[in-house]
């Protein structure tokens, strides 16, 4: 546990009463004031809509420095992991806290590859959806339903059960995601091929058909693997916080991950990658960029530049920088040019020179460029957030394990500032106006 060595004094100016609250310091970044004694001392709540200034937990998994644009997974810089590691190795790192030895990586890879299949009856779930159902709606339902198939290992207080659940979720998400896509286009669901690595297996399940051979494109596979790594975790974002809150009630982990997928779906969060592509298509040509930038600045227009801004990053999102660099390389290697990429780079240039965006420190975030690469790989726009959910599953389940395993873990139950009616008497309908 982080140490507490100094305090902060809070004075209630109404009564002169004061208390000293301990400040807990971590290993990186700001310390945190433990305000547990605050309400007891003053009879007041701390109000922080959107949790802008609130640390909900102590965690050892991911560190972000928003001012410097730093992202570390278990202390390793995202730039080094994206360049030198693999998503499977990053999953091991996030779950276990250390990079694996060669033997550990081999064992982990074998375990993940041998949990990729779905229970045959899962296939019937898809039949209940319309073909044009959004794949995120199907994914939310199917992941929540996974708990119905795994009563054998659902003791959340058993470390072994927690880890096998993590392995099952990481392994089955690509199979589920690809099945959502295949169902939506009326093609047969493709079984995983355990000889392939994570990203290659997913591409094959997405794009192969029974009537012909399918060769995984190594450029596509590598690009997708890096995108998975970049999306693996991001400390206490909205969906990770949702998973933690759901988990704090001791709900089963599949239900908690399903809740996380729901939270991620919003366009303010993981749904932004799909919204960026639709926005770029709506802009259509560089000449219209100023019109959209003005709309994004308008107080009366709800339009926002999708893929711009971040609660924590007030500098470049390091993931956006990596993906932007990849775009050039991937489009070149795939002999693919995309006018939307040209619009995106022009839009970034215009926005980053605009006083509004400079003053509010609005930079491109991870979602701004990721869709360009996914589109170049052939992934349909309505599958973009599904890809994000697949990649983030390891982060969610690592955060869930950390929360459940924490000594003294409590149910999350925030309070409120009540601004409604004081108590009043019921009026029978015949006496109402
Ligand atoms: C992700 O939290 C994470 O870590 C998330 C994530 C992860 O890996 O889990 O990084 C993934 O969700 C990335 C964010 C994807 N969302 C978008 O790209 C949607 C567009 N961006 C926003 O709506 C917004 O920037 C948020 C939601 C990302 C952050 O919102 P905040 O922190 O609550 O900031 P805010 O809404 O209070 O905005 C501050 C100001 C406001 O203006 P004022 O009221 O102060 O005058 O900046 C403006 C906003 O209007 N603003 C924007 C803007 N984003 C913020 N104006 C125009 N376009 C935008 N994109």
Contact 323, 373 (CB under 8 A): yes
* Average pLDDT of the segment spanning 124-143: 93
Active site residue 367: yes
Please report which confidence band the pLDDT of residue 204 belongs to, taking 50, 70 and 90 as the band edges.
very high
Which residues does residue 168 pair with via DSSP β-bridges, in sequence order? none
- Give residue 2's pLDDT band: very low, low, confident or very high (50, 70, 90): low
DSSP 146-184: GGGG-GGG--TT-HHHHHHHHHHHHHHHHHHHHHHHHHH
Structure tokens belonging to residue 26:
């971590």
Query: Residue 329: is its pLDDT beyond 90?
Result: no
Nearest ligand 1 atom, CA 309: 25
Q: Phi-psi bin for 16: left (phi > 0), alpha (psi -120 to 50), beta? A: left
Note the pLDDT of residue 336: 82
Quick check: is 151 catalytic? no
**Mutational test site, ligand 1, from 289, 310, 366, max ligand atoms within 8 Å of CB:** 310
**CA-proximal residue: ligand 1, atom 40 (nearest):** 360
Query: Distance between alpha carbon 35 and the CA centroid of its chain, in Å?
Result: 28
> pTM for the whole thing?
0.95
Report residue 3's pLDDT band, with 50, 70 and 90 as the boundaries: low
C-alpha of residue 359 to centroid of ligand 1, in Å: 14
Q: Report the share of the chain in percent with pLDDT over 90.
A: 91
- 337 band by pLDDT with thresholds 50, 70 and 90: confident
pLDDT digits (tens, 9 = 90+) for 70-110: 999 999 999 999 999 999 999 999 999 999 999 999 999 99
Mutate to test the pocket of ligand 1, among 237, 309, 361 (most ligand atoms within 8 A of CB): 309
Over the stretch 279-300, which tens digit does the pLDDT of each residue have?
999 999 999 999 999 999 999 9
> Are the C-beta atoms of 368 and 313 separated by less than 8 Å?
no
Report the share of the chain in percent with pLDDT over 70: 99
Question: Which of 213, 310, 335, 355 is flagged as catalytic?
Answer: 310
Residue 150 has pLDDT above 90, yes or no: no
CA of 293 to the centre of ligand 1 (A): 15
Q: Looking at ligand 1, which residue's alpha carbon is closest to its atom 42?
A: 360
């Amino acid at each position: 546990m982080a140490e507490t060595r100094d305090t902060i004094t809070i004075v209630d100016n109404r009564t002169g009463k004061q208390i000293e609250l301990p400040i807990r310091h971590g290993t990186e970044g700001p310390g945190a004031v433990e305000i547990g004694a605050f309400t007891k001392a003053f009879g007041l709540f701390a109000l922080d809509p959107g949790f802008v200034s609130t640390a909900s937990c102590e965690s050892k998994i991911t560190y972000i420095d928003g001012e410097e644009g730093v992202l570390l997974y278990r202390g390793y810089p995202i730039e080094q992991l994206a360049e030198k590691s693999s998503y499977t190795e990053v999953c091991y790192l996030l779950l276990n806290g250390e990079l694996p030895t060669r033997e550990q990586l081999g064992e982990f890879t074998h375990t993940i590859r041998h949990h990729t299949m779905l229970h045959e009856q899962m296939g019937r779930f898809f039949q209940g959806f319309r073909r044009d159902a959004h794949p995120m709606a199907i994914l939310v339902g199917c992941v929540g339903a996974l708990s119905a198939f795994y009563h054998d290992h659902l003791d959340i207080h058993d470390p072994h059960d927690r880890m096998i659940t993590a392995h099952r979720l990481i392994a089955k998400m690509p199979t589920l995601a690809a099945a959502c896509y295949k169902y939506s286009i009326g093609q047969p669901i493709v079984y995983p091929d355990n000889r392939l690595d994570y990203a290659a297996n997913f591409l094959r399940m997405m794009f192969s058909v029974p009537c012909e051979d399918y060769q995984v494109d190594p450029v596509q596979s590598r690009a997708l693997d890096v995108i998975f790594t970049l999306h693996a975790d991001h400390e206490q974002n909205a969906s990770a916080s949702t998973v933690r809150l759901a988990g704090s009630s001791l709900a089963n982990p599949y239900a908690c991950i399903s809740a996380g997928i729901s939270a991620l779906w919003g366009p303010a969060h993981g749904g932004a990658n799909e919204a960026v592509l639709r926005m770029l298509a709506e802009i259509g040509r560089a000449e219209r960029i100023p019109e959209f930038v003005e709309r994004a600045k308008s107080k009366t227009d709800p339009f926002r530049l999708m893929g711009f801004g971040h609660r924590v990053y007030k500098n470049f999102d390091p993931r956006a920088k990596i993906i932007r660099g990849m775009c050039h390389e991937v489009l070149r290697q795939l002999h693919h040019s995309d006018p939307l990429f040209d619009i995106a780079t022009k839009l970034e240039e215009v926005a980053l020179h605009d006083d509004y965006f400079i003053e509010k420190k609005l930079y491109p975030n991870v979602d701004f460029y990721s869709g360009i690469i996914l589109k170049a790989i052939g992934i349909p726009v309505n599958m973009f957030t599904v890809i994000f959910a697949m990649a983030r599953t390891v982060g969610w389940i690592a955060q869930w394990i950390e929360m459940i395993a924490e000594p003294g873990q409590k149910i999350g139950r925030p309070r409120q500032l009540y601004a409604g009616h004081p108590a009043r008497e019921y009026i029978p309908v015949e006496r109402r106006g």
